[in-house]
Structure 1
Amino acid sequence: MSGVWDVAGGPSARRRFASLARSVRLFRGFLVEQTDPDHFYGLLADDSVRQVGGYSALAGRTVLDVGGGPGYFASAFRAAGARYVGLDPDVGDFSAAGESVAGMVRGSGTALPVQSAVVDVAFSSNVLEHVSEPNRMLDEMVRVTRPGGVLFVSFTPWLSPWGGHETAPWHYLGGDRARRRYQRKMGRSPKNRYRETLFPLSISDVLRWARGNGDVEVLEALPRYHPWWGRWVIRVPGVREIAAWNFLLVLRRVGDEPGGAARKTELTGGRVAM
């Protein structure tokens, strides 16, 4: 795997990466997330590392994965030459992907046990909607990222077709109702429990936080799994909450930018309606 996706190649290189074929592969993988998580998350990890590599070199850089969970991203980042550190409240979950706990830190995303300005890439995949104080977690990710470093954060908006996770699509009728329906049907409580381990987070909420934080610059705001020509949905309030499916925000920590740090792209031009 290449450590850096060639952003300098211009729009044609970006379009080749965000292709329809890629989107189809990811959505097909998503269909077996519950039954074959190794396949889906392995696919997503490889794809994510390529995407992150479009904004920062990875070889020799420190990547902090906030909410690393079972560690599916560890091998992918390490294969790209990164110094990977995963953080999760329960390090025991890391073994689910067959990884050891080496390089794994136990801690909370809203109070990172990491010094300020020491991380080159702060990464978090599908964690933010499971945090009761998402802005606090985002603030912590900014704090630990060095000037010129990159923050790569994705999550599933509440109004996405998968917003209720295993209780979807019944979450459209209310999170509590969807949870009760799941319990009646399955005979057990869902893993992602409304307002306990799953919270109704919106894209607009996160964009509003980004706009109000003077320590970061928005490099990209886009639907994570869509082909390049579908990225317009993020510019339309309301529509994006449903059509984006999964939202990706790429930020740069402002300050003096050392060589090899993030480069702003032209996909959104930094202009996204809040």
Structure 2
Amino acid sequence: MRDPSFRRSLALFRAFLREQDDPHTAYELLARDAADQIERHVRLDGRIVLDVGGGRGYFTREFRRRGAHGYLFEPDPAELAPGRRAGAVVADGYLLPLADGAADVCFSSNVLEHVRDPATFLSELVRVTRPGGLIYVSFTNWLSPWGGHEWAPWHYLGAERARARYERRTGRTAKHRLGENLFAIGVGPTLRHVRERGDVEIVSARSRYWPVFPGAVTRVPVLREFATWNLLLLLRRCP
């Protein structure tokens, strides 16, 4: 699927709507799409690619299918897919058990909104990426329509109210709790932080899913906090 395009965005949105019932289809599609985005900048074949916080390993497996040496780093053993733990390491993204510059590509999809200290997390991704290597980071910002995750869009009325409503409606305990495993990260502050860093340059800052002008929406203050939906940063580690 061409990126950006209405066809691609519609396919991803439909898969997203079925994510709770059919996560395999949704994440297989998202993994192929992410790999396509990376390969517009660097060929994956033969590269060392780190998937930090990749859960059940959909992205890692797609990178390997394209010839990469893919390695998954996940802090929660319960998230790892049973029987598919080869090349997976239980490790905290704040302190990866790797030497400086170990990877050609460092990848993190929808993790930054789940860490308390995103600046330190980003610094660790940069550290383990070789000079000239690519860093792919995407996250769902708090004020986007999906910022509250399973209890969105009611998070606009308050996190606790939204979480309580979800639990009443479904009879299930919500997976996420604001301030514990979900944090109110914004597009503007994140872009300012990355621009102020001296160890990376921005290759692309865009909405991950928008079908038209995906970079333009991230340049409009206030609007970008609601309309970006999911910010994708492609960074190059400076020499």
- TM-score when scaled to structure 2? 0.96
Report the Cα distance in structure 1 between the residues aligned to 2:70 and 2:214, rounded to whole angstroms. 31
1:212-249 CA-partner distances (Å, limit 9, x unpaired): 21000000000001124343111101111111111100
Residue 127 (structure 1) aligned with residue 119 (structure 2): no
Match of 1:115 among 80, 94, 99: 99
Report the Cα distance in structure 1 between the residues aligned to 2:70 and 2:121, rounded to whole angstroms. 19
Match in the other structure for 1:10: none
Match in the other structure for 1:250: 234
1:44-74 CA-partner distances (Å, limit 9, x unpaired): 0000001011111211101101101011112
User: Can you give the 5+ residue segments of structure 1 that lack an aligned partner in the other structure?
Assistant: 1-14, 256-274
SS, match of residue 30 in structure 1: helix
Match in the other structure for 1:9: none
1:129-179 CA-partner distances (Å, limit 9, x unpaired): 011111110010001100000000000000000000011111001112212
Match in the other structure for 1:185: 169
Report the Cα distance in structure 1 between the residues aligned to 2:225 and 2:100, rounded to whole angstroms. 32
Match of 1:50 among 36, 46, 49: 36
Report the Cα distance in structure 1 between the residues aligned to 2:98 and 2:77, rounded to whole angstroms. 16
Report the Cα distance in structure 1 between the residues aligned to 2:77 and 2:69, rounded to whole angstroms. 18
Report the Cα distance in structure 2 between the residues aligned to 1:232 and 1:117, rounded to whole angstroms. 32
Match of 1:64 among 44, 47, 50: 50
Mark the CA change 1:16 to 1:182 in structure 2 (over 3 Å): closer, same or farther: closer
Q: Which runs of 4+ in 1 moved over 3 A?
A: none
Mark the CA change 1:16 to 1:188 in structure 2 (over 3 Å): closer, same or farther: closer
Match in the other structure for 1:155: 139
Report the Cα distance in structure 2 between the residues aligned to 1:192 and 1:57, rounded to whole angstroms. 36
Match in the other structure for 1:87: 73
Report the Cα distance in structure 1 between the residues aligned to 2:220 and 2:226, rounded to whole angstroms. 11
Match in the other structure for 1:32: 18
Contact 1:91 1:104 in 2 (8 A): no
Report the Cα distance in structure 1 between the residues aligned to 2:119 and 2:14, rounded to whole angstroms. 32
Residue 168 (structure 1) aligned with residue 161 (structure 2): no
Report the Cα distance in structure 2 between the residues aligned to 1:24 and 1:134, rounded to whole angstroms. 30
Q: What value does the CA root-mean-square deviation take over the aligned residues?
A: 1.4
One-letter identity of the residue aligned with 1:207? L
One-letter identity of the residue aligned with 1:166? E
Mark the CA change 1:237 to 1:41 in structure 2 (over 3 Å): closer, same or farther: same
Compare 230-239 and 27-36 and name the one that shifted more. 230-239
Match in the other structure for 1:139: 123
Residue 219 (structure 1) aligned with residue 186 (structure 2): no
Residue 18 (structure 1) aligned with residue 20 (structure 2): no
Report the Cα distance in structure 2 between the residues aligned to 1:178 and 1:30, rounded to whole angstroms. 20
Match in the other structure for 1:77: 63
Compare 149-158 and 183-192 and name the one that shifted more. 183-192
Contact 1:221 1:247 in 2 (8 A): yes
**Seq. identity, %:** 52
Q: How many residues align?
A: 239
Report the Cα distance in structure 2 between the residues aligned to 1:183 and 1:28, rounded to whole angstroms. 24
SS, match of residue 182 in structure 1: helix
The CA deviation at 1:16 is 4.0
SS, match of residue 74 in structure 1: helix
Contact 2:53 2:111 in 1 (8 A): yes
User: Can you give the 5+ residue segments of structure 2 that lack an aligned partner in the other structure?
Assistant: none
Contact 1:155 1:246 in 2 (8 A): yes
Contact 1:223 1:245 in 2 (8 A): yes
SS, match of residue 120 in structure 1: strand
Report the Cα distance in structure 2 between the residues aligned to 1:46 and 1:79, rounded to whole angstroms. 10
Report the Cα distance in structure 2 between the residues aligned to 1:91 and 1:228, rounded to whole angstroms. 38
